[in-house]
Amino acid sequence: MKKTIIILLGIILTISFSMISSAEEGNERKGKYTYRKVYQSCKDRGEVESATPTLSPDAKTQAQWDRYFEEKKYLEADCKEEWNKLSEEDILNIHAYLKGHAADSPTPAKCK
């Protein structure tokens, strides 16, 4: 009985922890679309020539992406106008997306 409770407790803890952490890490699916939209509207505005984001997720490693967002380096790159409009959550989502498909992730991805 004790064992079951511990196991249950463990499961609950894991689930809630993973939920918290996923909330902290942002929704990478949403991030993908937000990221695309940044460059789409940036292209519509005429700042960049292609709607394909300049940086693909696999352009950096997970650690490099963390540093990139920590230091808000995206504000130094192109499409600053769009980046400035993004909410904190949007940025978290994009961070999650880029990190989730970084070069050293299990599923490195390229933007098309």
Partner 1 sequence: MKNKTFIMLFSTVLGAWLSVWQSDLCHAAQMGNEKRQTTTDHSKHKVLQQEFSTGDDITKACLSCHTETDSQFHKTIHWTWIAEEGEKQLGKGGDSLNNYCISSNKMNDKGCSKCHTGWNAKEGEVNCLLCHSQKEVNWDETFEDFRFFKEEGDDESKALAAELQGNIHKAVTDIGLPTRKNCGSCHFFGGGGDGVKHGDLDSSLTHPDKMLDVHMGTNGGNFTCFRCHSGKLHNIPGRIYSQKAYEDRRSLVEDDTISKITCESCHTATPHKENAKMNDHTDKVACQACHIPDFARVNPTKMSWDWSKSGRLKDGKPYKTKGPYDKENYLSIKGEMKWEKNVKPEYFWFNGSMSSLTTKDVIDPSTTVAVSQPNGNINDPDSRIFPFKIHHGVQPYDLEYKTLLAPLLSGKDGYWTTLDWQNALQKGMDFSGVPFSGKFDFVKSTFAYPTTHMVMPKANALACTECHVRTNSRLASFGELYMPGRDYYKEIDFGGWILVFGAFAGILLHGTLRFFSGKRK
Q: Give residues in contact with partner 1 (CB under 8 A).
A: 29-30, 32-33, 112
What does the alpha-carbon distance between residue 82 and residue 2 come to, in Å, rounded to a whole number?
54
Q: What is the DSSP letter of 72?
A: T
* Phi-psi label, residue 56: left if phi above 0, alpha if psi -120 to 50, beta otherwise: beta
What does the alpha-carbon distance between residue 96 and residue 88 come to, in Å, rounded to a whole number?
12
What does the alpha-carbon distance between residue 108 and residue 57 come to, in Å, rounded to a whole number?
7
Give the sign of the dihedral formed by CA 83, CA 84, CA 89, CA 90: negative
